[in-house]
Each structure stands twice: as C-alpha cells, then as structure tokens.
Structure 1
Amino acid sequence: MNNIYPIELKNKLRQKFYNCYILLGEDSYLQYQSQDLILKFAKKKGFFKKTIIDIEKSENWIKVDHFYKKKDLFSQKKILIVNLIINSLDILSIKKIQKISSLSNLDVLLILKFNHLSFTFKKNQFKRPQLNVIIIYCFTPNNFYFNNWIKYEINKRNLKIEKSAFLLLCKHYEGNTLFIHQILNMLSMIWPDKNITEKKIQTVINKFCNFFPSQLIDSIFNHDIERALYILNSFYKQKYNCLLLLRSLQKDLLILLLMKRKKNLNTKIFLKKNNVWDKRHSFFEKAFFHINYDNLCYSMTILLKIEIQIKKNNNFSIWMQLKTLILTLS
C-alpha cells in the first residue's frame, strides 16, 4: 500500500490514477477535500456514475455485493464510495473490505472511508501489502504537520503572508482545518495581491473568532498553558456562554478523575466507553500522567465555585476562577 497525506494527493494523482483509495481519519474537511480531488481526476478519466453505500451494519454489505454483480447494458466506468459508519469491524466486514480493495476492476473506482474506525484499521487490519491501493491520512494534523499543511494551503492560493502573521494564524486556529480553509479563502478575496500583515490577520481573527470548549480542554491536557489562556481570553472577549464551558470541563475532568481512580486501566477501551473521540485520546493520556490527583480534585472544587458564581451572575469572578483552574492544572 502507498501511504500519503492530503498535501501529496494532487501530485500522486498526476503521476498515476489508482482504482482504490482509502481515506483514514475523522477530519471532515480533509476527507471532503481529498474525495473531491479524486472525483475531479476521475471525471477526466471517464468516471461519471457515482454510488454511495453506508455500512451501518454487517447486512449492508449485500448492497456492495449487488453493486459488483450488477451488469450494465452499456459498459460504464463507475464510482463506489463505501462509508463505514458501523460501530466496529467484525470478521465479515474485514473480509469484505480486503476483498473489494484487492479487486482490480478498471471500470470501478473504489473510495473507502473509515471515519471513526481509522485507528482500528491502522493497528489491526490489512497486514498483507496491496500495491494498487492508496491510503490518504485525513487525521487532523498537529504542531509541525499542521504548520506545513497551512503553508501548502497558502502557497496554493499564492498568498503573501508575513512570518508573524503566519505564526498568529497557526496559534489561533491550530487543529481547525475547516476554519483555516475559510479564513484563507477570505484573505485571498480581501487582499489578493497585497502583503498580509499580523495586524490584518488579527483584525480577521477578532471578527471571525471561533473556538470550541474541546480546544481549550485539549490545550490544558496537552500542557500548553499559553494556548489555553489565549483561548480562554477569546471566549471572554466574545462573551461565550460560561455554562456551556463549565459543563464541558466538568465532563472531561470527571472522566480524567475516574481514570486516575481505576485499577488495571485500559485507556483506549475506557475512553471509548465514555464516548471520547479517538483523536482526543492522546490528550487524555498525556493529562493522565502530568496532572496529579490532588490538583485534579481541587479543580473539581473550583468548578463547583464557578457554578455558584454563574447562578449569582458574577461574570468577572467566573473568568478569574477559570484562569485559576487552568493554572492549577498546569
């Protein structure tokens, strides 16, 4: 198998068009971007008729069997997109995936989307190498890889961005590929041929700021306190709903507290049972080791005080307590 990242896909498609592409990862924008690019190249190769099959349960594989057995009156090049939304990969599903991905039917373009099962695929399946399959890693890039992805998107649009402006963009939208895509499109429309400064980026950020509670918590768990305080300050400026923020913190910190109390912990199984997304597992695992039990217990006390302050409508105290919480967990 050939493993590539979305930024390498265009060149790979130019070099050779394959008949099976596997999209691994849950980043919806990277998945959409990769699939769209494949379909554009497929159109040039004469693939027009598209069929999408969702695999919600094992019985749905009958639809895939029917697709391959169906004979068209006129020979047509067809596209089959198999969207795996089944809870787990059973033996039947594994066999079906291995079978259809190894078929060399030049009239069928197969796109397999693993979504939440991507980590299962990486760890356990497809031990046998398959030369005619391209795997595209659509996991949300982090740190160095995220910065490289942004550079690729900037170059694609021929934008001129100062280094300080670029770093601000990376810091503010880390891990949010969809918003980076939207912001860069906006910048290319507003300043297509001008040098984009840090001040211009800051203006756009202030106007279209959009963080999520999970990003704040992931920054705390990742021991990136500077970023956590930056996100908290953004929430404060946009008058974010404190109760929504509180509930997210309570939920995730309670999960972490239960992890600390559990003996013979299997982290992956425990987090899956508590409905934590696979891509957030590494943040919980890191927090498990660097946040000590006493500070975690004290943070739950702070959350209780914050809830009381919310009921009293004491906004200033709420944001100060949230800052204290972040510093306590640092």
Structure 2
Amino acid sequence: MPRINPRQLAQNLRQGLYPLYVVTGDEPLLVQECCDNIREAARKLGFNERELLHGENNFDWGQLLSAAGSMSLFADKKIIELRLPGGKPGDKGSKALQEFANNASDETLLLLVLPRLDRSQLNSKWVKALESRGVLVQIWPVDASEMPRWIHQRLRANGLNAEPEAIQILAERVEGNLLAASQEIEKLKLLANDSVITAETMSNAVASSARYDVFGLIDKALAADAAGAVRTLQGLRAEGVEAPVVLWAIAREIRSLLEIQKKLDEGQPLNRLVRIQKRQPLVQAACQRLHPSHLESFLLRARAVDNAIKGGREMDPWAGLLELTLNLSGKRSI
C-alpha cells in the first residue's frame, strides 16, 4: 500500500479498512486527528473494543500478541492501539510487529502511533512488514511558508472565510503551532457571524486570546524573571491553555537558543539572528546565562514531559512544565 499524507486519509478510509495503520509524525494535532478518523471509521464497522498499550522501555511485547489473541467467540472486533514514543521497537519489538503483521486478521485493527521515522527506520523489516498489510500515514511539519495556506484550508473546513491579511496575522501569531492555530479558529467561529473575517477582527481576536500569553511566559523566563514566569504559567493553566501548547513554546525557544549560540560562536551578529529588536537583549542575556549543555538537558526533560502528556509516563505534565520554566529562567527546579 502506498504511503499517504493526512489529506489522503479520509478517501483511503472510504475505500475500505485495512488491518494495520501506522501514524508517524511530530505534529500532535494532526497525529491526533488522523488517529481519531481511523478509530471512527473502525467503530462504524463494529470495532467497539479498544485496548491501549504503551511501548516504553522494558515493554513486554508479548502483550501485543496476547491482545490480538484474547478475543472470545462473541467479542466485538478490537482496536489495538500501540503508542511507541521512542519510535524504535528494538529486536524483540521488531519480531513481534512482524509476527503481528503476518497474522493480521479482519477481527483486530492495529493502530501504531510513532514519532517521525527517519529513512533507515522507514526501510526497516518491521515497517515493511506492517506496510505490506496496511497503511502508513506520514505527517510532515507545516513550515512557515505553508502556514497561511493551511490556515485558509482550516478556516474553510470550519465554514469560515478570511481576508488574506487576516490569515497572515494569525499565521504570524501562532508561529507554526498547529494546535494553537486550531484553537484560535474555534474561537473565531463565535465571532464570524457568517461574514468575512477582516484583519481588524483577527487582530482583536488574537490579541485578546488569553490574559496570560505563552509568549509572555517565554519572555519572562528569558529575562530571568522566574517568579513572573511561574505566575504566567499558573495563569495559562487556569485559563485552560493546553499543556502541549506551553511545551511547544518552551521547547521551541530552547532549540532556538541552541542554534543562536552555535551561530554566535561562528561569529554571526545577534541582530541578524534575532530580527525583533526588543527580544535581542532577552536572548543575549539568556545565552550568557545558559550553557549549551544546560539547554540540551532541558530538551531531554521536554521530551519526558511530552511523553507524560501522551500518557506514556506517570508524571504530572504541568509539574514538568514548571521545572522547565524555572530552568529556562536560570533557577534550579524545586
């Protein structure tokens, strides 16, 4: 079966259900929506039972094969959803997945959710085995140049229309965060009144999106205002901002600081690396305060928080976000 992208999934599901689906990518919103669409299509065909497995370190791969063989004579069809945050099943996992693929039946559906796979992983025996019996959905990041088109399509799908300038305002505001863009579009549905969304309406909508702003959180942390950053974090949580949105902003800034430090060491000027003038002193102070080794350790912690958000680790994601906020502010975590 050819590999497909999220836009092709709906048509693929209408043509019939396969016993195996592999969803791979690093865009949480698109991954979630693809999984939702697959589950919904399966439920319409009688897959009313669902078993969720987390393939972390020391995962017993016998659970996967056991789940496939545990159905009774009168049981409903079953969805087996396996989340593999690391993306690498190892030797035991590879053999188990190949065995599952070889014995796939119409009574079970495997939904395997992974981060983006590199070329060597895509060419591995276990991926090839799964593809031979199912569908691989590849989710690629939406870059800055594609973001206005993605927002326009999303608006149209929600019955909305907007001026090009309004779309550009939203694209700049969310800076590549699809989840944040989707949330803004949901709010715009309340403001549209069946008319075209103007640039003025969009500006007012995104400016009043939250009293505690994720970008304000980042700026306070860069300024070493730990107390202010923590208050903003608490405000974001109280206002119902989703943890993945906050994590995205923090992780994005950490990666940006690492890249800026590398280019500063190569002799490039800060004003060329940071175009927004008011942020230059904040970034400069953070680069002087935080060593690259610190930032790399923060990224590892961010991955752990992402794992917790996805249900693969027993920890409070907001506790992890608090720790990252303090770290980025130059403070040790409590």
Using the size of structure 1 for normalisation, the TM-score is 0.64
Query: What does 1:173-252 correspond to in 2, within 5 Å?
Result: 173-208=174-209, 235=215, 238=216, 240=217, 242-246=219-223
Relative to 1, partners in 2 of residues 1:87 and 1:320: Cα closer, same or farther, differing over 3 Å?
Answer: closer
CA-based RMSD of the aligned residues comes to 3.7
Query: What does 1:1-330 correspond to in 2, within 5 Å?
Result: 1-86=1-86, 88-115=88-115, 118-119=117-118, 122=121, 124-126=123-125, 128=128, 130-208=131-209, 235=215, 238=216, 240=217, 242-246=219-223, 292-295=265-268, 321-322=281-282
**Secondary structure in structure 2 of the residue aligned to 1:141:** coil
CA distance in 2, matches of 1:148, 1:193: 21
Runs of 5+ unmatched residues, structure 1: 213-234, 249-276, 300-316
Relative to 1, partners in 2 of residues 1:247 and 1:91: Cα closer, same or farther, differing over 3 Å?
Answer: farther
Deviation at 1:120, TM superposition (A): 7.2
Deviation at 1:289, TM superposition (A): 8.0
Please identify, of 55-64 and 17-26, the stretch whose mean Cα deviation from structure 2 is larger.
Answer: 55-64
CA distance in 1, matches of 2:111, 2:25: 14
CA distance in 1, matches of 2:88, 2:66: 23
Aligned residues with identical type, % of pairs: 19
**Secondary structure in structure 1 of the residue aligned to 2:50:** strand
Deviation at 1:279, TM superposition (A): 9.3
Runs of 5+ unmatched residues, structure 2: 226-249, 272-276, 287-334
Determine if contact 2:162/2:198 at 8 Å carries over to the other structure. yes
Relative to 1, partners in 2 of residues 1:103 and 1:154: Cα closer, same or farther, differing over 3 Å?
Answer: farther
CA distance in 1, matches of 2:178, 2:113: 18
CA distance in 2, matches of 1:54, 1:72: 23
Deviation at 1:12, TM superposition (A): 1.9
CA distance in 2, matches of 1:278, 1:119: 21
Deviation at 1:8, TM superposition (A): 2.4
Flag the structure with larger Rg. Answer: 1
CA distance in 2, matches of 1:284, 1:99: 44
Relative to 1, partners in 2 of residues 1:323 and 1:283: Cα closer, same or farther, differing over 3 Å?
Answer: closer
CA distance in 2, matches of 1:200, 1:170: 14
* One-letter amino acid of the structure 2 residue matched with residue 199 of structure 1: E
Determine if contact 1:173/1:179 at 8 Å carries over to the other structure. yes
**Secondary structure in structure 1 of the residue aligned to 2:89:** coil
**Secondary structure in structure 2 of the residue aligned to 1:76:** coil
Relative to 1, partners in 2 of residues 1:320 and 1:72: Cα closer, same or farther, differing over 3 Å?
Answer: closer
Tell me the number of residue pairs that the alignment of Structure 1 and Structure 2 aligns.
254
* Structure 2 counterpart of 1:261: none
Determine if contact 1:2/1:131 at 8 Å carries over to the other structure. no
